Amino acid sequence: MTIMQETQCILLAEDNEDDVALFRSALQRAGISNPVRVVHDGEQAIHYLSGRGSYSDRNRFPFPGLLVSDLNMPRCGGFELLEWMNSNPQTAQPPAVILSTSTQEMDRERALALGAREYVVKPTDFSKLAEIATRLKAKWLDPRARA
């Protein structure tokens, strides 16, 4: 299991600004102080992860310790992002967590088969989102969780 240092950023691939704001608030409630970098589609996430284009400056756009991605985004969705990550083993990849509104079992299975470490259905209740953030912190960010 990869454990993220507090200085490492979380890359959030999410096209809905309301969901971005809710996710940031949930992280704050969970006591997660890692910086969050937001991209609005899978194509931007690929550029960020590969350090291409406007994301080439790793001082401004540090490599993330965790990727949290939606499935349904414009231009390139979460499945395509996971497929790219799978097909580019020479590029370092952070653990990927899918945070989606889809409750379809086939979406969950496909995401996990493509390498997502976890698949979480977006809750409609903020307190449940904060609980998810707390669980993500314990599983992926807390140094005491070292295996």
- In angstroms, rounded to a whole number, what is the distance separating the alpha carbons of residues 75 and 63? 22
Would you say the pTM of this structure is higher than 0.75? yes
Q: How many helices (H) and strands (E) does the chain have?
A: 5, 5
pLDDT above 70 coverage of the chain, percent? 91
User: What confidence tens digit (pLDDT) does each residue in 15-53 have?
Assistant: 999 999 999 999 999 888 889 999 999 999 999 999 999
Q: Beta strand 118-121 with 64-69: parallel, antiparallel or unpaired?
A: unpaired
> How confident is the model at residue 104, as a pLDDT?
97
Pick the closest to residue 58 from 7, 17, 95 (CA basis): 7
Residue 142 or 10, more confident: 10
* CATH architecture of the region 9-145: 3-Layer(aba) Sandwich (3.40)
